[in-house]
Amino acid sequence: MSQKLFGTDGVRGIANIEPITATSALRLAVAAARVLARHKSDSIAIIGRDTRASGEMLESAMAAGLASCGVDVLLAGIMPTPAIAYLTPTHQADFGVVISASHNPFQDNGIKFFGPNGYKLSDQLELAIEAEFFRIELRQPAPGKSVGRIRRLKDSVEQYAAFAASTVPKGFSLSGTTIAFDGANGAAYETTPLVLTRLGAQVKSIAGMPDGCNINRECGSTHPEAISALVRKTGAAFGFAHDGDADRVLFCDETGDPMDGDDLLAIAGADLLVRGQLREKTVVATVMSNFGLDAVLNGRGGKVLRTSVGDRYVMDAMIQHELNFGGEQSGHIVFRDFSTTGDGLVAALQLMDIMQRTGKPLSELRKVLKKFPQILRNVTVREKLPFEQFSGLMKQVAEAQSKLAGRGRVLLRYSGTEPKARLLLEGPREVELEELAEGIMKELARNLGA
């Protein structure tokens, strides 16, 4: 096994292949207990998972490993990732564990941690856990040390649902509103419809019957065509979709026209700015977000602070600069006044609140953002070698950068969670972007293609 365990969002891989095996999960649990429980006699950890079939195996292994180190384990069951971020500090746990591979196919799985404050772990803590994991032998707990207990966390769904509903103003009601919802056959298949129904909405759902193998399959936020079709079929006021662990949300308007995270950042960012509730008049976004977002904020006296791709980098910037709103084009939207991580349900509710206060449908609200044309391309790679090793590739990138200088940009990077290279081109003319992308993609496929 490679001496590198954590990626950009926890430990990821194919279930039942190292490092996502029962054996490694148990070992990871022991390593995490040593670093995060700090040998306390009353340590508590909360574990949640999504609907993947492999989640039960990994949950059992993690729970056993933690209990062997004297940590009491609360099993929250199938829960959205942001629910574990909320429940961890609520129950004064030392840390939370989420077993999920987010938007990836069901064959994959992953393990990530939240600290006692509900935020993801720092790089330093992940490195400390990694170092413990790779020690030659697992030390036996001290003789006579109490074994931790494992029990179900009662009412975890109810607790999270009540929290999510509390993030909208008192008296907020969705009565008389028909909402289309795509649960991605994932972790929020129960919680999101429950909250919407309690707020009075009539919910038309798809992908709400997980079987362990259908998570994200032709549904959810990575397949916006599914929720668009449902809106058109039902005549819903709007629709939205989560990914498998529900830390993302993407909407479509009443016509079924899909919207991405940049649309949501523009609508909510402008609303917070106008109401004087956007700290430092700044929205945090990644380098992938459309430059049209800058125009929205700049035109209202605000600005965009950009980070590397990944919701953890967005959150790091928000913490460092004491900001309260940001997110990603992919649909990770963070309202930090309410949540310590991207929360698809909370973000959806905040957008619904904007619609109610303004009396405008999404087709009208989305007009605030005038997007620059973008071309996004992905290619599966054999190995993530430095791009600089390939002169032909770098020549194509340099030519594209030269042609777009002052009018657009080129961004070539590797995915942090999948064996893929990702290319983004942005500029005023889509035809030009297509031509430039073709040359770069040919070189990528020739040099790195799987």
**What tens digit of pLDDT does each residue of 327-383 get?**
999 999 999 999 999 999 999 999 999 999 999 999 999 999 999 898 999 999 999
* pLDDT (tens digit per residue) in 400-442: 999 988 778 899 999 877 899 999 999 888 999 999 999 999 9
pTM equals 0.88
Class of domain 261-368: alpha beta
Q: Is residue 292's pLDDT more than 60? A: yes
Q: Which band of pLDDT confidence, cut at 50, 70 and 90, is reported for residue 112?
A: very high
Any alpha helices (H) in 235-390, and if so which ranges? Answer: 261-274, 292-298, 311-320, 344-358, 362-365
Residues of the chain with CATH 3.40.120.10: 11-154, 159-252, 261-368
Give pLDDT, residue 142: 56
CATH of 374-448, one of 3.40.50.300, 3.40.50.1970, 3.30.460.80, 3.30.310.50: 3.30.310.50
Residues of the chain with CATH 3.30.310.50: 374-448
SS3 149: coil
Q: Is residue 2's pLDDT more than 70? A: no
* pLDDT (tens digit per residue) in 129-149: 999 999 856 566 655 568 999
CATH of 11-154, one of 1.10.1520.10, 3.40.50.720, 3.40.50.300, 3.40.120.10: 3.40.120.10
What CATH number is given for 159-252 in this structure? 3.40.120.10
* pLDDT (tens digit per residue) in 30-70: 999 999 997 677 899 999 999 999 999 999 999 999 999 99
SS3 207: coil
221 is an active site residue: no
Task: Please provide the DSSP assignment of 39-79 as one string.
Answer: T-TT-EEEEEE-S-THHHHHHHHHHHHHHHTT-EEEEEEE-
CA–CA dist 445, 450 (Å, integer): 8
Residue in 43, 54, 100, 102 annotated catalytic = 102
Give pLDDT, residue 138: 57
Percent of the residues in the chain that have a pLDDT greater than 70, as a whole number: 97
Vertex 167 angle, CA 215 and 293, to 5°: 75
**Cβ(305)–Cβ(317) under 8 Å?**
yes
For residue 155, the tally of other CB atoms under 10 A from its CB is: 11
